[in-house]
Chain A
């Protein structure tokens, strides 16, 4: 909870900061109005820092707008900026620019340049709000951006292949971004971060993207709150990062032959709590991850709840609810350096004689068949065969194949109220 509060506080400070910055025009500020037929570019040239440019409803084909002054560009009645599939629509190179209320469509596609609907380059304090970004190659591209506020945007594309589509929100070497309440779909990755730090991602819905709903690498100290990632090609992949906090997110129906709810690869000192994993092929796939706390999450109806590879150490999995998963835990080795404690497992068949709501015998969440499949994938053919059932029963009675110390010493008798 402590964590939660700090984050909320941080978020509040940043938001208020932006509001102060953006909503108090300086005494010298002027207002321009652009009508269909006029050129936005020309007006920007006339404007100075702090000016407001109102763009009235209509379609504008500007062949690339560069905003190099700290202005507010505001769409009235949803004007459309069309990149005609050739250009980057808006590039922001100045601080404290606000883009609001536009429909931006058809950014160019190039295999050389990553053309976007909106690009932020070396700027801080940029706000992008209430826009609709449709059919673009990249949606919002943050390049060396800082303290940008990206909120309430709908970003969708109809990408077909990974190669020919870009990311919804793309961050590169940026920090302290706030990404709030965006709806992202149909891109390659919904949200993609590389070297993005101290960032808050909150209440976004990233769905039906071709590859990952969220994908980040080398992005430390980021916080993910209340997001929903569903029906993405391969779920969520987070790699090579530290001190990542993921709270109350939902990972739903990432169901495919190479999908997972979330892939944690080389993640350390992180914390996942209060998340829901529902109907994913693999809810959490952990590889080379350390010192990560996974607690009070709900794992239901997944193929595998957690695949924890032997390369993971010192992780704690406690007080989670596991129900309706085909396999609760799978691992690829006999080495177990992680702790399982006080979880609820619906497959637990033990008893509680002293009525302390904790099972009196430890639960071994690793099924022997899951181990067989791990070693020999083709054994999947025997999934739900009665022979496999017999094998499981035999292993329960006389454990021999599953690692001795992979067990939950205090399994709960009833699910936690999560």
Chain B
């Protein structure tokens, strides 16, 4: 499996899209830090990049990469190697390269300008979302045979988690405005990794007080160690479950 990761990394790190993505992250975050005199404001700007661009690039890039490699993957399947190992290796290779891109693109500016816990949370969130959306990409590439359909599904997933889901939450909130919804909200936030990442980051950015002003439970929960543990756990579940399903499906897939 290590060998697979190694060669996938060799390939992806020379990939123009990944290089452009890294450069984009780097330039945008550096210029944000340089334009804003207050680093925490810049982090707020980076928040949007982390929550929208990182998942989008992760899921689209991984899906396209997997489709473009389908013939090569077939060739590798015909070699004496377990399918699960093969796909897992490819997945890890993809994750590795995405993490490298975010570490270089976001990490270096953050470390230079705001190396505190806020910056670290930003990096962690960006990393976690990269992995989660690579995992979702793996799933959509494995369950759809057609390239166009697969990419469509990936885009749809991204759009769902970025926009549709929050719209639905808003709708639910209005529908059940008369009921206590705080616990339900915590559950709902766990069902969307982007929301989860955003909340964690905002709590770090001291917006916690504002959240508390309206819903103390929210802050008490996510602000505590237990909440942090819960959030990290849910994130890990988001990383593991889609890729696990994908790998299982791939095991018995007819290529």
Contact = CB atoms under 8 A, between A and B. Distances in A.
Are A and B a genuine interacting pair, yes or no? yes
Interface of A: 255-259, 281-282, 303-304, 324, 326, 372-373, 375-388, 390-391
Contact of B177 (A375, A380, A384): A375
Contact of A381 (B167, B199, B206): B199
Q: Which 7 A-B pairs have the closest CB atoms?
A: A257-B212, A377-B214, A387-B166, A303-B210, A385-B166, A281-B209, A380-B214
A257 B47 contact: no
A281 B162 contact: no
A382 B214 contact: no
B41 A324 contact: yes
Contacts of A377: 214-215
Given A257-B216, A381-B199, A385-B195, 19 more contacts: A257-B209, A257-B219, A281-B209, A282-B213, A303-B209, A304-B210, A326-B210, A378-B214, A379-B170, A380-B215, A380-B218, A381-B188, A381-B195, A382-B169, A383-B202, A383-B207, A385-B198, A386-B51, A387-B163
A383 B182 CA distance: 15
A391 B166 CA distance: 11
A326 B182 contact: no
Contacts of A380: 210-211, 214-215, 218
A333 to B, nearest CB: 16
A395 B213 CA distance: 24
A259 B189 contact: no
Nearest to A389: B48
A304 B213 CA distance: 11
Contacts of B177: 375-376
Interface string B156-169: 00000011001101
A378 B188 CA distance: 11
A375 to B, nearest CB: 7
B18 interface: no
Given A375-B177, A386-B48, A381 B209 contact: no
Contacts of B174: 376
Interface residues of B, number: 37
B181 interface: yes
Nearest to A258: B213
B23 interface: no
B124 interface: no
B182 A256 contact: no
Contacts of B169: 381-382
Contacts of B199: 381
B220 to A, nearest CB: 9
Given A324-B41, A382-B166, A258 B52 contact: no
Contacts of B167: 387
Given A324-B41, A378-B181, A383 B211 contact: yes
A379 B166 contact: no
B36 to A, nearest CB: 10
B215 A378 contact: yes
A381 B189 contact: yes
B217 to A, nearest CB: 9
B173 interface: yes
A390 B182 CA distance: 24
Contacts of B210: 281, 303-304, 326, 380, 383
Contacts of A259: 209
A256 B212 contact: yes
Nearest to A381: B185
Nearest to A303: B210
Most chain A CB inside 10 Å of its own CB: which residue of B51, B198, B213: B213
11 contacts: A255-B206, A257-B208, A257-B211, A303-B209, A377-B215, A379-B173, A380-B218, A382-B166, A382-B195, A383-B210, A385-B195
B173 A281 contact: no
A386 B209 contact: no
A386 B162 contact: yes
A404 B216 CA distance: 31
B170 A382 contact: yes
Contacts of A387: 163, 166-167, 170
B181 to A, nearest CB: 5
Contact of A257 (B173, B195, B213): B213
B182 A378 contact: yes
Contacts of A256: 209, 212
Contacts of A281: 209-210, 213
A386 B158 CA distance: 13
Contacts of B47: 384
Interface string B136-170: 00000000000000000000000000110011011
A392 to B, nearest CB: 13
A256 B163 CA distance: 30
Nearest to B209: A281
Most-contacted residue by chain B among A281, A282, A378, A379 (CB, 10 A): A378
A384 B50 CA distance: 12
Nearest to A302: B210
Contacts of A384: 44, 47-48, 198, 202, 207
Contacts of A324: 41
A384 B189 CA distance: 14
B200 to A, nearest CB: 12
Contacts of A375: 177
Output the residue of A257, A373, A390 with the most chain B CB within 10 A: A257
A314 B41 CA distance: 35
A377 B181 CA distance: 9
Interface in B179-232: 181-182, 185, 188-189, 195, 198-199, 202, 206-216, 218-219
